[in-house]
Amino acid sequence: MQDEHEKGRRGRRGIRRQDLVEAALEMLAAEGEQNFSVRKLATAVGVDGMTILHHFKSREGLMRAVADAMVATLDIERPKGPWREILLEVAQRYRRLAVKYPKAFNIVSRYQTSGPADFELGEIVYAALLDAGFNEEDAADYGMALFTLAIGFGVVEVGGMLNPCTPEEMAEIEALDPRLFPVTRKLGPVFANDERDRVFEILLGSFLDGIERALGAQKA
């Protein structure tokens, strides 16, 4: 006899909620959100749009489930080590997630919490900050700051802002009036390099150093 819970999760026409999430993520990863619609998803999986709304109530409900499905692809087993290593590892995981899903990653940035996988990662970060010695308010604020940095960096990186300057962009820099833009012209060759890893290390390192100083001030 079919499990009643499983039967309920399948909803109408026998399709499971998880099947819809996986199909939506595959479509979003390939085409981006601008080319996605509930109608296209329904056609791709062979159901009508109302079946999808039956599972998720709205398009945003589906997007939130997709965001959590992306987060769930991370290794969310609690990292070992001191708080700094844990926060570093979580931030690096989000960066890898952005690179894995460049056309869909911006969806992750839309939700304070996206679901079970997101809660698990949050638990890791907030527990590490509490264990480090922060009170509840500071642990929450520094944790949210970490997620803002990690997810925000991912959005910017896959969006292209940190790509090396193109030859056309370099020509624009070289054409700048040296009397008005001497520093920009001097730094031009650096902008032509791939500095994404170093920028990430600078941002994250500065943030973690700031947490170190805050903890030191608390204990002083």
What percent of the chain is predicted at pLDDT more than 70? 92
Q: Pick from 220, 203, 213: which is nearest to 146 by CA?
A: 203
pLDDT of residue 75: 75
Domain count within the chain: 2
What is the distance between the alpha carbons of residues 62 and 21, in angstroms, rounded to a whole number?
Answer: 7
pTM of the model: 0.86
What is the distance between the alpha carbons of residues 220 and 214, in angstroms, rounded to a whole number?
Answer: 10
Q: What CATH number does the domain containing 102 carry?
A: 1.10.357.10
Owning domain of residue 39 = 4-57
pLDDT of residue 76: 67
Q: Do 100 and 146 belong together in one domain?
A: yes
Contacts of 192 (CB under 8 A, 6+ apart): 164, 165, 170
Q: 67 in a domain, yes or no?
A: no
pLDDT of residue 13: 53
pLDDT of residue 12: 45
Q: Do 187 and 121 belong together in one domain?
A: yes
Please write the tens of the pLDDT for every residue from 133-175.
999 999 999 999 999 999 999 999 999 999 999 999 999 999 9
Residues in the chain with pLDDT values less than 70: 1-14, 76, 79
What is the distance between the alpha carbons of residues 64 and 109, in angstroms, rounded to a whole number?
Answer: 10
